[in-house]
Amino acid sequence: GITRHYTFNIKYHNVTRLCHTRSLISVNGQFPGPRLVAREGDRVFVKVVNHVTNNITIHWHGVRQLGSGWADGPAYITQCPIQTGQTYTYNFTVTGQRGTLLWHAHISWLRCTLYGPIIILPKRNESYPFEKPYKEIPITFGEWFNVDQEAVISQALQTGAGPNVSDAYTINGLPGPLYNCSSKDTYRLKVKPGKTYLLRLINAALNDELFFSIANHTLTVVEADAVYVKPFETDKLLITPGQTTNVLLKTKPSFPNATFLMVAKPYVTGRGTFDNSSVAGILQYEQPSHNSSIKNLLLLKPTLPALNDTNFVANFTRKFRSLANAQFTATVPQTVDRKFFFTMGLGTMPCPQNTTCGGPTNSTKFIASVNNVSFVLPSVAMLQAHFFGKSNGVYTTDFPTKPPVPFNYTGTPPNNTNVSNGTRALVLQFNTSVELVMQDTSILGSESHPLHLHGFNFFVVGQGFGNYDPNKDPANFNLVDPVERNTVGVPAGGWLAIRFLADNPGVWFMHCHLDVHTSWGLKMAWIVLDGPQPNQKLPPPPSDLPKC
Ligand code: C2O
C-alpha cells in the first residue's frame, strides 16, 4: 500500500437550508465533509486542526484500527478531545477491508455536521466480486437542524426530556423538494441508460434508521459495512445510523419518459416524538441533446414500508449473508470462550430532588442502559488510563455480564428497572472468542437499537422476537455464512446474537448509534488485553495525543 495524507481543518462555515442559515462546524468549509479515499492496505494520516471553540474528535467508523487504537477517536474512550487551537494526527492502516465506511465527529452531537464517506478501493490488482460499475456514487443520509443541535441535546439532558427532532433528513446534505423552502436544495443523480452504477449508501443521520427506495428501479445489495455479501435484489432497504450498504443500480436500457424520485424516510417504533418527514432526491436520465422534445416528464415516487414496519426490517436484516469466501471474508468463530447476555433499552430515573423534569412523567427523566448500567463518560481517556495502569478513579472493570435479575418480557414491562450510573468496562483476554446476545428491554415500548462495536467486525449469528431462549435458540444459529458487520439493529421487542474474536488490544466502545440513546447512557466499553507476541500488544500513544 501507499501512504495518503489528509488535512481536516475544523472551522465554521455558513450553510443555508430550509431558509435558515447556520454557522456550521465543518471540515475544510465543506458540508457534508470531504471523502476519504484509500486502497486496502494503504496507510492514512489525517491531520485534524481545531479552529472552533468546541472540543473535537473524529472517528473512522468501521475501520478496524488493528494495533492502532489511539486513532479510533471516541472522546474520553480512546482519546481526550482536540481542544481549540490544537492538532492531532490520526494514523492508521486499512487492513483486510474494502468497501464503504464513514468518518464522523465522536463527541456530543457534533457528527450532525461533521461527517463524510470513507471509500476503500480494492488493492490495485484486485477486482470486485461483481460486475464492474460504470460509475461509483456516494449517497450519504443526514439530518438538518434549523438550530444548533448542541443546544438541543444539552437542553434535553438538563431537563430530562426527549430532545427536539431535526427539521429535515438530507441526501448529501440536501433536504429536497418535499420540504418547504427546499426544492432548490435537491440532490440529482444524473445517469445514462443501460449502465450499472455502484451507489455507496451511508446513514450518517443522528437519530433515525431510514428506509430507502428509488421509484421503478431494483437495487442489488453487494456489500455491507465494507464487507462483500451474497448479492440479493430488493426494491427497498433499511439502513441504520452507522451502517453502510453498497448497491448496484442498473439503469433502464433506453431513455424513459419519466424522472424518478429516490426517497428516504424513518423507521420508528415506540417513540413519543418523531419526525415522519421524507427526503427526496431525483434520479434523472440525461436526455441526449437532440431529443429536446421531451418535456413534462412523469415524476414517479417509490412506495416505502410503513413507519413502524418491524417485520420488513427483520426480514430485510436476515437477507444479509457473508460471501463465506476465504479471499474476502473472515470465518465466524465456531467455538465460544465467553458468553454474555446484555439487556438494552430506555428507562426512567427519578428527577433530582425537588425538581420536576421533562421525562415521561413530571418526576422522571429519560435514561438508557445496558444490563441496568447507564454508562458515564469519564473525564480522562480510558485507553490512556488502561495503558499506563491508572484506572483508579477513571473506570472499574465490573461491567455486569448479565442483567441483575433474569430478564423476562411477557408483554408487560419487567420489574428490574433499577438503573445505576457507572463507568464500568468488561475485560477480555487477547483472542477470546465472544458470543453476545443483546435483548431489547421494551420498558418504554419496544424500540430497535442500531448497535455499533468499535475495533471489530462481528458476525450476526441469530435474531428473533420475544425472549431469547438459551436452550432452544442457539440450535438455529447460522455458523456457515453469517453476515460480518460493525453495526446492526437489535430488533424492537426481540434479540440478536453476535460472535467476534477479540484479536485487537485496546479499549473499544460499544453503543447504540442513535445519538439520543448514546447520550442517555446506552453504551459500554470492552477492554481487550495485550497478547503475548510483540504484534499483539498495543503500542505506546503517539506524542501528539491530546491531553485532557
Ligand atoms: Cu459511528 Cu462510536 O460510532
Query: Chain centroid to CA 415: how far?
Result: 31
Q: Are 482 and 461 in contact (CB under 8 A)?
A: yes
In angstroms, the Cα distances linking 280 to 21, 211, 434, 504 are 21, 12, 41, 40
Radius of gyration of the chain (CA): 23
> Could you tell me if 83 and 110 lie in one domain?
yes
Residues 6+ apart with CB under 8 A from 178: 263, 277, 278, 279, 280
Pick the atom of ligand 1 nearest to 111's CA: 1
Give the lowest-confidence range in 245-249, 294-298, 456-460.
294-298
CB of residue 511 inside a 6 A radius of ligand 1: yes
Residues 192-208 pLDDT 10s = 999 999 999 999 999 99
Spatial distance between the Cα atoms of 127 and 129, rounded to a whole number of angstroms: 6
> Could you tell me if 108 and 181 lie in one domain?
no
C-alpha 43 to ligand 1 mean position (Å): 21
**Residue 274 vs residue 146, higher pLDDT:** 146
- Given a cut of 80, whether residue 74 has pLDDT beyond it is yes
Q: Are 429 and 440 in contact (CB under 8 A)?
A: no
> Could you tell me if 405 and 382 lie in one domain?
yes
CB of residue 509 inside a 6 A radius of ligand 1: yes
> Could you tell me if 313 and 374 lie in one domain?
no
Cell numbers standing for residue 189: 443523480
Which pLDDT score is estimated for 356? Answer: 78
Give the lowest-confidence range in 51-60, 287-296, 307-316, 537-546.
287-296
> Could you tell me if 415 and 475 lie in one domain?
yes
C-alpha 513 to ligand 1 mean position (Å): 6
Q: How many CA atoms lie within 13 A of 295 on its CB side?
A: 2
C-alpha 303 to ligand 1 mean position (Å): 30
Residues 400-443 pLDDT 10s = 999 988 888 776 666 667 899 999 999 999 999 999 999 998 88
Q: Is residue 432 part of a domain?
A: yes
Measured over the CA atoms of residue 282, residue 287, residue 292 and residue 293, the dihedral's sign is negative
Q: Number of folded domains in the chain? A: 3
Which pLDDT score is estimated for 273? Answer: 74
Q: Is residue 546 part of a domain?
A: no
> Could you tell me if 358 and 490 lie in one domain?
yes
> Could you tell me if 201 and 140 lie in one domain?
yes
CB of residue 64 inside a 6 A radius of ligand 1: no
> Could you tell me if 345 and 301 lie in one domain?
no
SS3 31: coil
Average pLDDT over residues 172-186: 96
Q: Is residue 191 part of a domain?
A: yes
- The CATH number of the domain where 200 resides is what? 2.60.40.420
Query: Chain centroid to CA 239: how far?
Result: 9
Which pLDDT score is estimated for 540? Answer: 98
- Domain end (from 107, 126, 145): 126
CB of residue 517 inside a 6 A radius of ligand 1: no
Q: What percent of the chain has pLDDT over 90?
A: 85
Which pLDDT score is estimated for 443? Answer: 81
Q: Is residue 329 part of a domain?
A: no
Average per-residue pLDDT in the chain?
A: 94
Give the lowest-confidence range in 152-161, 219-228, 235-244, 323-332.
323-332
Q: Are 164 and 152 in contact (CB under 8 A)?
A: yes
Cell numbers standing for residue 61: 467508523
Average pLDDT over residues 122-138: 97
> Could you tell me if 409 and 378 lie in one domain?
yes
What's this model's pTM, rounded to 2 decimal places? 0.97
Spatial distance between the Cα atoms of 449 and 489, rounded to a whole number of angstroms: 5
Which of 36, 60, 57 minimizes the C-alpha distance to 454?
A: 60
CB of residue 104 inside a 6 A radius of ligand 1: yes
**Dihedral angle of Cα 439, 445, 446, 451, to the nearest 10 degrees:** -70
C-alpha 100 to ligand 1 mean position (Å): 15
> Could you tell me if 169 and 264 lie in one domain?
yes
Q: Are 268 and 307 in contact (CB under 8 A)?
A: yes
> Could you tell me if 117 and 132 lie in one domain?
no
- Domain end (from 93, 126, 159): 126
Q: Whose CA is nearest to atom 3 of ligand 1?
A: 61
Kindly report the number of other CB atoms within 10 A of residue 454's CB atom.
Answer: 28
Q: Which domain holds residue 26?
A: 1-126
Helix (H) or strand (E) holding 60: strand 58-61
- Whose cell is 507476541? That residue is 533
C-alpha 475 to ligand 1 mean position (Å): 32
Residues comprising the chain, all counted: 548
Residues 237-294 pLDDT 10s = 999 999 999 999 999 999 898 899 999 999 998 767 788 899 999 999 987 766 555 5
> Could you tell me if 161 and 173 lie in one domain?
yes
C-alpha 36 to ligand 1 mean position (Å): 17
Q: Are 541 and 387 in contact (CB under 8 A)?
A: yes
Q: Are 316 and 238 in contact (CB under 8 A)?
A: yes
Beta strand 188-191 pairing with 279-285 = parallel
Q: Is residue 90 part of a domain?
A: yes
Cell numbers standing for residue 338: 465467553
CB of residue 523 inside a 6 A radius of ligand 1: no
- Domain end (from 111, 126, 141): 126
Spatial distance between the Cα atoms of 120 and 432, rounded to a whole number of angstroms: 28
C-alpha 78 to ligand 1 mean position (Å): 12
Which of 58, 42, 38 minimizes the C-alpha distance to 93?
A: 42
